[in-house]
Amino acid sequence: MRPTRAALLVVATALTPALLLSAPAFATASPAPATTVAVTSDTPVDEMSEAELRAAIADIVADEDSGEAVVREADKALNGTVDDMRTFLKTGYRLARAEDDRVAVAHILFVATGAGDKRVVREANEVLDDGSPEAVRAWLETGYRLAQAEDDRVAVAHILFVATGAGDKRVVREANEVLDDGSPEALRAFRETGYPLAQAEDDRFYIVRMLADPNISDALRAEANDALDDGSPQTLRYFRTVGQYEVDG
């Protein structure tokens, strides 16, 4: 029976912290390649010896892109009969991979919802509603990359608009460069890593200019120096957007 949307979201939510820390968004959400038994052996499954069956399944388990459901069902087959192994290679693998793919899409949906990525959210919901292994895999292999690129392009354009108003020169320069490049990879890399670093440099410059003003209060000067001493993008951003306005005097 196919997992329900709620069950998939529970799994995806539970996996999110580990997935987000392990790799960039495209990598965490991307599916395993469409591995087939034919890659492992030219022998038809029904004609494989027990040793060949075990070798074919072992190759699937060893593949670092195999998901939890694939590994789980493969282990069951290896611990079962010869018929169990044949059944896994003929049908079980496809079904297990489809389960992993649905969890991957649910994870993408969870992250995209938090990020406000409208096209990804819409298409992820559509493919989960369709539910067929073929539709889910096709979207993971091609549709997701294109949808994420469109959402990233909109996000970078918004970043550029805000940065232009704030006079953030490095953000403006790099946002323009990445929009001129236009590739999904460049857009994603800027949004995930390039933008926080560029924004941190602009925030640091903003705070340094603030300290050059001899008329700021001692309390504000102390907080600004603390932010610079910390130096993290998060601290610099917080001080510029929130902290400086909370300082008394």
pLDDT digits (tens, 9 = 90+) for 136-191: 999 999 999 999 999 999 999 999 999 999 999 999 999 999 999 999 999 999 99
Give the per-residue pLDDT at 41: 62
| pLDDT greater at residue 249 or residue 218 | 218
In which residue are the tokens 């953000």 written? 171
pLDDT digits (tens, 9 = 90+) for 225-237: 999 999 999 999 9
pLDDT digits (tens, 9 = 90+) for 11-61: 444 444 433 333 334 534 444 444 444 445 678 999 999 999 999 999 999
Q: Name the DSSP class of 44.
A: -
**d(Cα 109, Cα 94) in Å, to the nearest integer?**
22
For every residue of 149-186, DSSP letters joined together read HHHHHHHHHHHHHHHHHHT-HHHHHHHHHHHHH--HHH
State residue 168 phi and psi, 5-degree precision.
-85, 95
pLDDT at 3 over 80: no
What's the alpha-carbon Rg for the chain, to the nearest Å? Answer: 25
CA 176 vs. chain centroid, Å, equals 23
CA 213 vs. chain centroid, Å, equals 42
Confidence of residue 10 (pLDDT cuts 50, 70, 90): very low
Give the per-residue pLDDT at 249: 57
Provide the whole-model pTM: 0.74
pLDDT digits (tens, 9 = 90+) for 52-100: 999 999 999 999 989 999 999 999 999 999 999 999 999 999 999 999 9
Neighbouring residues of 81: CB distance < 8 A, sequence distance ≥ 6: none
The vertex-246 CA angle with 241 and 249, nearest 5°, equals 125
Give the per-residue pLDDT at 72: 97
pLDDT digits (tens, 9 = 90+) for 106-142: 999 999 999 999 999 999 999 999 999 999 999 999 9
